[in-house]
C-alpha cells in the first residue's frame, strides 16, 4: 500500500523531500502529488527539486480546492499542513500578533471537506496549542489560552477523525540541529496512528545509545571568514558583547571556534553567549542570524571591544 500526499504551505520543499524519502523494506512508499504556497520564489525552488509534483502559487485562503488532482485508487491519502507559525511562536516575544495569520487553520476545513483524506497531519510550534483570542493590542488573552485550539481540534474530529499529537525534536532523530515542533495526526476512524522512536539523545543511556550529532559535521572550518577588526563598518556594540561572551565561555575554555547568534538575546541572562560546535545547532531559519566565530590568535583583550559594560 502506498501513500499519496498533498502538501499545503509547502515552502521550498522540506516536507516534500522527507515524504518522498520514505521507504519500507527499501521500497518507496509515498508520493507528493500536489502542493501549494503563496510565495513564487518558494514554489520555484520546490519545482526545481520536485518536478513531478503539481505546483500552485496561490493563497491558501482563496484557492479553489477543486483544482487539486483526484486521489488515485488503492492508496492511503494524506493532507499535510505546516501552518504558518510566526504569530504563535514565543520567538515573537511581546510584539503584537497578526490575527489573520492565526486563523489560517480555520481554512483547513474546506480542504478536508473536499479531499476527505485518510490522514490529516499538522506541524507547528508548540505554542499552537495555546491558540486563543487576541486583545485590542494584538496580545494573547491569557484567560482564553488554548480555547480556539481545542475548538478547532473538536471540529476536525467531528468530521470523522481521531487525534493524537507529539512534540518531536529533530536532534532526537539524527539531525544536527535542535528543532522542537508539535505534530498532530488526525486519522479517519479505523486507521492506525504510529510515531517514530528516537534514535539519538542528549545523554545516551541503555535505551538510546547514540548521542546528538554536533553541528561541526556540517561546517566548513577552512573558511575562516573576515576579521572583525578590518571591517569597513564596525560591528554594533551588542554584537561585540555577544562575541565577547562567547569568547569567555568557549575560547577561554580551550575551544577554537563557536556559533554566534547575531540577533536576539537570552531572556534570562540578557545576553546570547553562543553555542558550542560540539552540540546541535539552534533552529536554522531563513533569517540570517547565525555565524561562526574563529579565533586565529589565542589573545583576548577586553579593551579591544570598547564595551561600556566591560
Q: What is the pLDDT of residues 80-123, one digit of tens each?
A: 999 875 655 555 455 544 545 567 899 999 999 999 999 999 99
CATH of domain 2-201: 3.40.50.150
pLDDT less than 70: residues of the chain:
85-102, 263-271, 296-310
Q: Which of 142, 217, 206, 138 is nearest to 176 (CA)?
A: 217
Domain extent listing, the chain = 2-201, 214-310
User: How far is CA 246 from each of CA 69, 215, 263, 265, 278, rounded to the nearest angstrom?
Assistant: 52, 16, 14, 12, 14
Cα 310 to Cα 304: distance, rounded to the nearest angstrom: 10
Q: Residue 309 burial by CB count (10 A; 0-12/13-18/19+): exposed, middle or buried? A: exposed
Q: What is the pLDDT of residues 140-188, one digit of tens each?
A: 777 888 898 999 999 999 999 999 999 999 999 999 999 999 999 999 9
Amino acid at each position: 500500500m502506498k501513500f499519496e500526499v498533498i502538501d499545503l504551505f509547502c515552502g521550498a520543499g522540506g516536507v516534500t523531500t522527507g515524504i518522498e524519502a520514505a521507504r519500507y523494506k527499501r521500497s518507496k512508499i509515498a508520493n507528493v502529488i500536489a502542493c501549494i504556497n503563496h510565495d513564487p520564489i518558494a514554489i520555484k525552488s520546490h519545482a526545481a527539486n520536485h518536478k513531478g509534483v503539481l505546483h500552485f502559487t496561490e493563497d491558501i485562503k482563496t484557492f479553489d480546492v477543486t483544482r487539486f488532482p483526484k486521489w488515485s485508487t488503492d492508496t492511503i491519502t494524506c493532507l499535510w499542513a505546516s501552518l504558518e507559525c510566526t504569530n504563535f511562536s514565543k520567538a515573537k516575544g511581546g510584539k503584537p500578533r497578526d490575527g489573520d495569520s492565526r486563523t489560517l487553520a480555520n481554512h483547513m476545513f474546506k480542504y478536508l471537506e473536499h479531499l476527505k483524506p485518510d490522514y490529516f497531519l499538522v506541524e507547528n510550534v508548540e505554542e499552537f496549542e495555546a491558540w486563543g483570542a487576541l486583545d485590542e493590542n494584538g496580545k494573547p488573552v491569557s484567560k482564553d489560552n488554548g480555547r480556539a485550539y481545542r475548538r478547532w481540534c473538536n471540529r476536525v474530529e467531528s468530521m470523522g477523525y481521531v487525534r493524537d499529537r507529539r512534540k518531536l525534536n529533530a536532534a532526537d532523530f539524527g539531525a544536527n540541529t535542535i528543532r522542537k515542533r508539535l505534530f498532530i495526526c488526525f486519522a479517519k476512524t479505523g486507521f492506525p496512528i504510529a510515531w517514530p522512536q528516537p534514535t539519538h539523545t542528549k545523554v545516551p543511556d541503555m535505551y538510546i545509545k547514540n548521542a546528538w550529532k554536533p553541528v561541526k559535521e556540517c561546517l566548513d572550518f577552512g573558511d575562516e571568514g573576515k576579521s572583525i577588526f578590518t571591517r569597513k563598518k564596525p560591528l554594533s556594540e551588542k554584537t561585540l558583547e555577544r562575541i565577547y561572551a562567547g569568547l569567555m565561555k568557549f575560547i577561554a575554555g580551550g575551544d577554537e571556534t563557536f556559533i554566534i547568534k547575531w540577533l536576539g538575546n537570552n531572556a534570562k541572562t540578557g545576553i546570547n553567549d553562543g553555542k558550542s560546535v560540539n552540540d546541535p545547532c539552534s533552529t536554522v531559519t531563513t533569517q540570517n542570524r547565525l555565524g561562526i566565530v574563529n579565533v586565529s590568535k589565542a589573545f583576548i583583550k577586553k579593551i579591544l571591544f570598547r564595551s561600556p559594560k566591560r
